[in-house]
Amino acid sequence: MAQTAHNDRPGIFADLVNSIFTPGTNSGLVAAMNYSFYALFATLFGMLVLTRGNGHVLAMLGLSVALWASIRWFLVAIADAEEQQRRERLEKEREEVSKGGGPAELAAGDCKKDQ
């Protein structure tokens, strides 16, 4: 009996449904966006060929490429900002631990002040 390899990673459809209920983006949502834009580009390019270079279709193709590129740039900028915040938070926690006042000790100290 041959066993099939089971991939633990959920598919693009599962990622897309999960993105509805969780904040932020995930790889499935970004992939679905890319595939949608690729289909739009193919459709507009086909229309451009069929209309023999209609200016309106060319403008729509240019606008859709610009929109896709700006969304991709924005997603990269958000990921960079989140990474920078994560690094700053880790650095702050390391400084607190090196001073001898970790987050748990600081919280316990605050409770003693209230009493």
What is the span of the domain harbouring residue 97?
12-114
Q: CA distances (Å), 107 to each of 21, 26, 47, 88, in order?
A: 32, 34, 64, 20
Domain assignment present for 4: no
| Residue linked to tokens 């390391």 | 94
Identify whether the C-beta of residue 56 lies closer than 8 Å to the C-beta of residue 32: no
Count: domains in the chain: 1
Whether 67 has a pLDDT exceeding 90, the answer reads: yes
Domain assignment present for 7: no
Domain assignment present for 100: yes
Please name the residue ranges forming H helices in 1-115.
12-21, 27-50, 55-98, 103-114
Domain assignment present for 65: yes
pLDDT confidence band for 25 (50 / 70 / 90): confident
> Which whole number is the average pLDDT over 55-84?
96
Domain assignment present for 6: no
Domain assignment present for 1: no
The C-alpha atoms of residue 114 and residue 36 are separated, in whole angstroms, by: 56
Residues 31-57 pLDDT 10s? 999 999 999 999 999 999 999 999 999
% of residues, the chain, pLDDT over 70: 79
Per-residue DSSP letters for 55-69?
HHHHHHHHHHHHHHH
